[in-house]
A and B are shown apart, each in its own frame.
Chain A
Amino acid sequence: MLRALTELLLLAAICGPVSVFVFARRLSFVADALTHTVFPGVVIGFLFGGASGVFLGALAAGLLTAIGLTLLDRLPSDAATAVLLTSMFAVGVALVSRRTSYTSDLTAFLFGRILTVTMSQIVETAVLGVIVLASLAIGGRAFLFRTFDPAGAAAAGYRVARLDLWLNVIVALVVVAAVRAVGTVLVVALLVVPAAAARLVTARVIPMIVVATALTAGAGYLGLWLSWTASVDHGMRVTSASAVVLLLVAAYLVLLPLPSKGRRRDLVA
């Protein structure tokens, strides 16, 4: 239980800041795409290397996707991207369906197993977290500039395509870090919802990061507690990861009616 909480708090510290850039850069689609492509990577890694192969499989698939998406981003249509993603996902399902423990494996890959997280997984998450946060700290200003005004950033001498690849790789690493705990599907929620909710409260980048991280940490703690109480005291089976995500979404919905600070442009005139 303590290990699960540690893992979730680590993920909060990683996903909070990264989600703000995902939100600002409108990369929600990239986050979604990664979950589709990391899934077959996870499955292949598991088939070849067991539980420890999952990490490497996810890492390889994540990095390949980051490069692929940066290249496909240059194309005028996103249909090719969509076809590729769907087929990758299908490959994952086809591979996993050949196993006898099909349903439980599928559930684990898609929704994670936060309660059985091991110490070595926590260490892996922490290491990835340090890498992600350090490269975000170094590249943060450039990402901000590129997101706000790509032409201006290029004129200032930034290589926009390289910055795009860099941020896509960061998002891929986050997906890899989070995939075993919360699964490929729910990791999107951790990358999209915190910043979207934080944006309802503030229009500044640093406060957005703080709020997004705090929200994820809070939802992680409450979600674990809720699923624990539900299953132990009331005999209901609630996946911890989905409880966490549902709490995040609930926070977003609660914040939605707030008169936010210049959220919409039509308030400005």
Chain B
Amino acid sequence: MDALRLDSAALGYRGHVVLEDVDLALAPGQVLALVGPNGAGKSTLIKSVVGLAEVAAGSVLAPGPIGYVPQSGLVDQDFPVSALQVVLMGRYRRIGWWRPTGRADRQVALDALALVGLAARARDRFGLLSGGQRQRVLVARALVAAPRLLLLDEPFNGVDALSRDAILRVLKAAAADGTAIVISTHNLDLARSHADLVSLLNGRQHAAGPPSSTLTPELLRQAYGGLVTL
């Protein structure tokens, strides 16, 4: 069964379609890179999977559980929570309404922080971490939900090389464990080297398939409107 499947999907907000003609199927363990210029609909596609954008036509299917990593700049950085508490949020749905947060939940969260190399910062306030470290915490939060599908919205924006490598290492391990991964990115080299599939977007899906057949000069020129140089 596919971890994510879009059939002739048209996506948008409040009746306004941002992205259309999307056909995609992602198997467990596969990595999909969403590539396209700003405003192409990359975030919209990701948001439609978690129910934050509308599916105007066609269908979007993801059996879940889904892990979602928002752009780290979009979360409240002044908020009084520690890195560990942020990671624990990923467990809240499993914990449910009635049961208090237990030692086992805490251990899972600590392990996830260790995985992204931040075990020592567990008690530090989230807002005091660097941009890259915050992004790693949000990745850890997504991982503790044991997702079948992991969605990352521009995870490498404003992220230092150290954090980027840490995130890539964790993602590779998750994919090896059978988690399907969707990453939106501007970085074509990264898409080429790490993705099994690339979806080339700009208002509609221009191409989808392995990097070798999608990241071609011709298709990129189409999607970027001639603004890209290779």
Interface residues of A (CB under 8 A from B): 24, 138-139, 141-142, 144-145, 147-149, 151-158, 199, 202-205, 208, 261-262, 265, 268
Contacts and interface: CB of A to CB of B under 8 A. Distances in A.
Interface string B127-157: 1100000000010010001000001000000
B82 A268 contact: no
B52 A155 contact: yes
9 contacts: A144-B81, A144-B85, A145-B92, A148-B75, A149-B89, A155-B66, A156-B68, A156-B90, A203-B80
Given A148-B75, A268-B127, A156 B145 contact: yes
B92 A265 contact: no
Interface in B30-73: 47, 50-52, 66, 68, 70
Interface stretch (B93-101, B178-186, B192-200, B211-219): B93-101
Contact of A204 (B51, B80, B97): B80
Contacts, number: 79
B97 A156 contact: no
Contact of A154 (B50, B74, B80): B50
Contacts of B89: 141, 144-145, 148-149, 152-153, 156
B125 interface: yes
Contacts of A262: 125, 127-128
Contact of B92 (A142, A202, A203): A142
A8 B51 CA distance: 44
A148 B125 CA distance: 13
Interface string B87-130: 00110110101100100000000000000000000000101100
A139 B75 CA distance: 20
Nearest to A153: B89
Contact of B98 (A138, A153, A202): A138
Nearest to A263: B78
B80 A157 contact: no
B77 interface: yes
A153 B142 CA distance: 11
The 3 closest A-B pairs by CB, nearest first: A155-B50, A155-B68, A149-B75
A139 to B, nearest CB: 7
Contacts of B138: 152
A205 B86 CA distance: 12
Contacts of B145: 156
B80 A152 contact: no
A151 B68 contact: yes
A175 to B, nearest CB: 24
A155 B95 CA distance: 16
Contacts of A147: 76, 79
A154 B70 CA distance: 11
Given A148-B76, A204-B82, 15 more contacts: A138-B97, A139-B97, A141-B89, A144-B81, A148-B86, A149-B74, A151-B74, A152-B70, A152-B75, A155-B51, A155-B70, A156-B68, A156-B145, A205-B85, A265-B78
A265 B126 CA distance: 11
Most-contacted residue by chain B among A144, A155, A205, A268 (CB, 10 A) = A155
Contacts of A204: 80, 82
B79 A24 contact: yes
Most-contacted residue by chain A among B80, B86, B97, B101 (CB, 10 A) = B80
A204 B79 CA distance: 9
Contacts of B85: 144, 205
A156 B78 contact: no
B125 A152 contact: no
Contacts of A268: 127-128
B101 A141 contact: yes
A265 B131 CA distance: 12
A156 B151 CA distance: 12
Contacts of B70: 149, 151-152, 155
A148 B68 contact: no
Nearest to B129: A268
A262 B86 CA distance: 17
Contacts of B101: 141
